Structure 1
């Protein structure tokens, strides 16, 4: 089982999820208040994007931890961070 070894990443992911949770509560409130469907759809899209972004970050974190542990050399570790940043940027463009 893989868990987060970096407290900063754990905090980042939790903050992202809390923001998405707040957005989702806003969508619920909009429905309760009979807001226009197009407005609700826009907010749902924002929630979805927030969750997708969190998933991408989670995936990159996993790759960094697992590949970093396997490569275990300091020079390779620096290159790994750069590569993972590029992978994250590429994955973000797929949305």
Structure 2
């Protein structure tokens, strides 16, 4: 992932948090914990991954719009941006 260091650090922190939460879910299942507790923790893992993914997409789109990521002289046109966004949907 190319981008500013703050965005990269934020994504890595969220992914590490999700990794720790997932380890907790595995441990809870191994211990035979209550289904409600496991599902609640699993939902937290899912949200953390979603947020990390959103941060990656948002940073990538911002860089594409400004032309920073590709090294282009000019930002993407509206049509190019629409095509890129629809490719992610």
* Superposition TM-score tier, normalisation by shorter sequence: 0.7 to 0.9
What's 2:24 paired with?
26
What's 1:44 paired with?
42
What's 2:84 paired with?
none
Contact 2:25 2:38 in 1 (8 A): yes
Residues 26-82 of structure 1: CA distance to partner in whole angstroms, max 9, x if unpaired?
0011011110111101100110011011111111001110001143xxxxxxxxxxx
What's 1:13 paired with?
11
Q: What runs of 5+ residues in structure 1 fail to find an aligned partner?
A: 72-95
Using the alignment, how far apart are the partners of 2:3 and 2:57 within structure 1? 14
Using the alignment, how far apart are the partners of 1:16 and 1:4 within structure 2? 17
Question: Higher helix share goes to which structure?
Answer: 1
Contact 2:7 2:59 in 1 (8 A): yes
Contact 2:21 2:41 in 1 (8 A): yes
Q: Which runs of 4+ in 1 moved over 6 A?
A: none
Q: What runs of 5+ residues in structure 2 fail to find an aligned partner?
A: 68-73, 76-89
- Alpha-carbon RMSD across the aligned residues, in angstroms, is 1.5
